[in-house]
Structure 1
Amino acid sequence: MSEVLVSDDPMLDPSALADALPDATIRTEPLPDEHAIVEAARDAAALVVDVNTPVPAGVFEQLPALQIVARAGVGFENVDVEAAAEHDVVVTNVPEYCTDEVATHGLALLLDCVRKIAEYDRATAAGEWAWEDGRPVHRFPDTTLGLVSFGPIARRLRERVRGFDLDVIAYDPYVDPEEMAAADVEGVSFEELLARADHVSLHAPLTDETEGLIDADALGAMRDHAIVVNTARGGLIDEAALTDALADGAIGAAGLDVSRREPPADDSPLRALDNCILTPHAGWYSVEAREELNETVARNVAAALDGETPPNRIDPDLDWL
C-alpha cells in the first residue's frame, strides 16, 4: 500500500486523493521545511505540496521511496526539479486550473485602483460621504496597460480588457513579438514598458532573473500616476521601494494579491497605505478552481504510482528560466 503525504494547506482536499487512490494511505502534516518533510515522509511514495513548502535537493537524497512530488498549483519554484530528476522522482504541477480566476482578480484589482473603490469604501464606512475622498480619479479608456510576461494569465487578462479601449504592451523576452502582435499586443523592452504604461501588471515567474524586478529604479522610471498590480509572486517586487514610492506619490497605487512574506507582518507599512490594496493570495480561488486543482493533483499522483507518466509532468530538461 502506497503512502501519500499532503502538506497541511486548506486549498488541498485529501478526500480527492482518497477517491483517486483507494488503496493508498493519505496523511496530512505541516511541512514547513526540509527537516519536517524528511521526518514525516520516510515511507511516502508521493508528496503533495503547496507553494510554501520548500522541497530542496536534500529531500530527494534522504527519501529513496519517493516517486512523485505533486505541486498543488501552477508555479514550482519551491521544488528542486533537477535534483528530483537525478533521483528519478517525477515533479508535476497544475498549470491552468486558475487562469480565468487570476486574470479576473488582476482586472478587479486594477479597476479598484483606477476607481478608488477601496478608498471610497473605507471613507464611507467611517462616516464620510464625499466624492472628493478619491481624488484624483482618471479615465480608464485610452490608457496603456503593460504586461510583464506574456503567459496564459497575461493573455487571458488581455482578452478581459478588450472592451475598455486600452493600448496593451508587453515585455517577455521568451515570446516572439509576432505572437504578441497576433493578440493585438505590442512587444516592447522592459524599460519602454515602464516609461509608457499607465498600469503595470506582473505575471512573471519568480526566478533569479526576476527576483526584485520592480525595484527603486523601476518604480522611478514609471509615471507618477502608474498603478502596479501583482498577482504573480511577491518576490518580484522590492516592497521597501514600493512602500516609499506609494508614500511619496512617485506612483499612483498598487493592488497586490501576493507578498514576499505571506501573510505580511502585522506592522508592514503596506497595510497602512490608502493607495495600496491587499488581498490574501486569493486570486486563484473559486469553488470550481479548487475542485479542478485537487482532481488534477489526484490524477497526477495516481498516474505516477501506477508507473505511468503523469499528464502534467515538469520536464527538467526544458529552460524554465
Structure 2
Amino acid sequence: MRVVVTDAEYTSLDIEAGVLTVAGHELVRAQCRTPQDVIAAARGADALLVQYAPVPAEVLEALPQLRLVSRYGVGVDGVDLDAARVRGVWVCHVPDYGTTEVALHAVAMLLALLRNLTGHDREVRAGRWDYTLGGELRRPGDLTLGGVGLGRIGRMTVERAAPWFGACVGYDPHLPDDAWPPGVERTSLADLFARSDAVTLHLPLTEETRGLVGADLLARLPRGAVLVNTARGGLVDPDAVLAALESGRLGGVALDVLPEEPPPPDSPLLRHPRALVTPHVAWYSRQAEEELRRKAAQNVVDWARTGRPTHVVVEGR
C-alpha cells in the first residue's frame, strides 16, 4: 500500500518506517497545511498518517482510493467523521500514548496556579524578595476541585490532585456510574462551575463542546477560581477567559492548548500576568512520542493485515 504522512513535526520518520516498510508498504512524506495540499500529496494513497493537516469532506471526495486515516493523537476533530462514514473510510487514532504525561502536566499547572509560582518567580527576578507580592494564597483543603471529563486522563488527574482539596466534583455525561471514580461527587456542568475553586478540562472537541467554556460558565465560578486546559484549545473561548481574568472572576488560567496554535505574538493572554501558557507540550515525553508514532503506523499495518485497525473511531468498509 501507499501510505502518505500528510504532515509531521518530526525530523525523521524512522519509527514509522520501521513499522510500515518492514511490513512491505510504501511510505511517502509530505508537509500539508491546507485541504488542497493534502489532495495534491495524497493522490493514489491508500492510507494517511495525519498530525495537524485538515481532512474535510472535500479531501475525502477528491481521493476515492483512500481507505484509512490514522491520526497522530487522540482528537480527530480535524477529520470530517460524517463524510468518512458515508464514504466508508476508516478513521483511527492513538488514545493511550501520553496519559501519564498529560495528567502530570495538568496537575503541575493546577499547583502552579494555586501557589502562584510564575508570579513569585517574576517578583524575585525583578529583585523583589517579598512573599506578599504574589497575592493572597488559599489553603487547598478549603477548596473544591472540579474535573470536566473523567476518561483516562481526567480520572488520573483528579485522582492525583483530589487529596489536596477539601472536596472533588466531576462532570462526564458519557461515563457510567459503575466506572465513576470513588470520592468524586457526580454533578451537572453548571453546578460544577458554581462550586469549583479549580477546574481542569479533559474533554474531546466536538460540535457540542466547541466553545463550551465561555462567559456563561465562567460567570458561575467562585471569584478567584482557576482554570486549567490541557485537552483541546477549542473548548475555551479565549476572549471570555481574558474578560474573566480582568474582572477577577478568574484568579488564574493555565492553557497548554489554544484555538490557534501558535497564538499571535500580540495575543493579550500571552501578556497577562495571571495566565500560564505552554506550547501544547502536555503529551510530550520521548517515550510518549515514540509510542504515538509507532501506534499511529501500526493502525495502518493492522488494518492491511486483518481488515481492522487497532483503535477505531469510524468503521470503514
Measured after TM superposition, the shift of residue 189 of structure 1 is 0.9
Equivalent position of 1:10 in the other structure: 9
1:15 aligned partner, one-letter code:
D
Shift of the 259–199 alpha-carbon distance from structure 1 to 2, 3 Å rule, reads same
Q: Does 1:245 align with 2:244?
A: yes
- Specify the code of the residue in structure 2 equivalent to 1:242: V
Contact kept in structure 1, 2:144 and 2:165, CA below 8 Å: no
> How far does residue 199 in structure 1 lie from its aligned partner after superposition?
0.3
Aligned to 2:34: 33
> C-alpha distance in 1, partners of 2:242/2:136?
20
Map 1:171-182 to 2 at 5 A: 171-177=171-177, 179-180=179-180, 182=181
Larger deviation, residues 120-129 vs 228-237? 120-129
Match of 2:58 in 1: 58
| Conserved 8 A contact 1:300-1:312 | yes
Equivalent residues in 2 for 1:119-134, closer than 5 Å: 119-134=119-134
1:230-267 deviations in Å (ceiling 9; x for gaps): 01111111111110110221221001001110111111
Residue by residue over 1:138-188, the C-alpha shift from the partner in whole angstroms, topping out at 9 and shown as x without a partner, is 1122421111122111111122124424411111222234532x5221110
Q: Report the CA distance shift for 1:115/1:11 in structure 2 as closer, same or farther (over 3 A).
A: farther
Secondary structure at the residue paired with 2:250? coil
- Residue 302 of structure 2 aligns with an amino acid whose one-letter code is A
Amino acid at match of 1:205: P
Inter-partner Cα distance in structure 2 for 1:102 and 1:32: 26
Residue number in structure 1 paired with 2:190? 191
- CA distance in 2 between counterparts of 1:201 and 1:173 reads 16
TM-score (norm 2): 0.94
- Name 2:78's counterpart in structure 1: 78
Amino acid at match of 1:290: E
Amino acid aligned to 2:46:
A
- Of 107-116 and 205-214, deviating more is 205-214
Quick one: distance in 2 between partners of 1:161 and 1:11?
A: 33
Structure 1 residue 83: Cα displacement: 1.9
Over 3 Å counting, the alpha-carbon distance change for 1:290 and 1:314 in structure 2 is: same
Query: Equivalents in 2 of 1:44, 1:155: separation in Å?
Result: 38
Distance 1:244 1:138 in 2: 23
Work out whether residues 169 and 185 of structure 2, in 8 Å CA contact, stay in contact via their aligned partners in 1.
Answer: yes
Q: Give the secondary-structure state (helix, strand or coil) at the position aligned to 1:141.
A: helix
The 1:73–1:12 alpha-carbon spacing in structure 2 relative to 1, beyond 3 Å, is farther
Question: Kindly, what percent of the aligned residue pairs are identical?
Answer: 39
State the Cα deviation string for residues 206-246 of structure 1 (Å, max 9, x = none): 11211111111111111111000001111111111110110
Q: Once the 2 structures are TM-superposed, how far is the Cα of residue 315 of structure 1 from its aligned partner?
A: 3.6
Question: Which residue of the partner structure matches residue 292 of structure 1?
Answer: 291
Whole-Å Cα distance in 1 between the matches of residues 40 and 309 of structure 2? 26
Comparing 81-90 with 295-304, greater Cα deviation is found at 81-90
Partner Cα separation in structure 2 for residue 246 and residue 216 of structure 1 = 11
Partner of 1:67: 67
Greater displacement, 161-170 / 294-303: 161-170
Farther-moved stretch of structure 1 (17-26 vs 92-101): 17-26
Within 2, Cα distance between the matches of 1:84 and 1:66?
A: 10
Q: Which residue of 1 aligns with 2:147?
A: 147
Structure 1 partner of 2:112: 112
Pairs aligned (count)? 314
Tell me the equivalent position of 2:25.
24
Structure 2 counterpart SS, 1:200: strand
Secondary structure, aligned partner of 1:306: helix
Deviation at 1:127, TM superposition (A): 2.2
Stretches of structure 2 that go unaligned for 5 or more consecutive residues are none
Counterpart Cα distance in 1 of 2:255 and 2:14: 32
For the aligned residue pairs, the C-alpha RMSD in angstroms reads 1.7
2: CA distance, partners of 1:281 / 1:296: 20
CA distance in 1, matches of 2:235, 2:154: 16
Tell me the residue number matched to 1:267.
266
Q: Single out whichever of 23-32 and 87-96 deviates more from structure 2.
A: 23-32
Q: Which amino acid aligns with 2:234?
A: G
Q: Deviations over 1:44-86 (max 9, x none)?
A: 1211111x32111121211122121110100111112232233
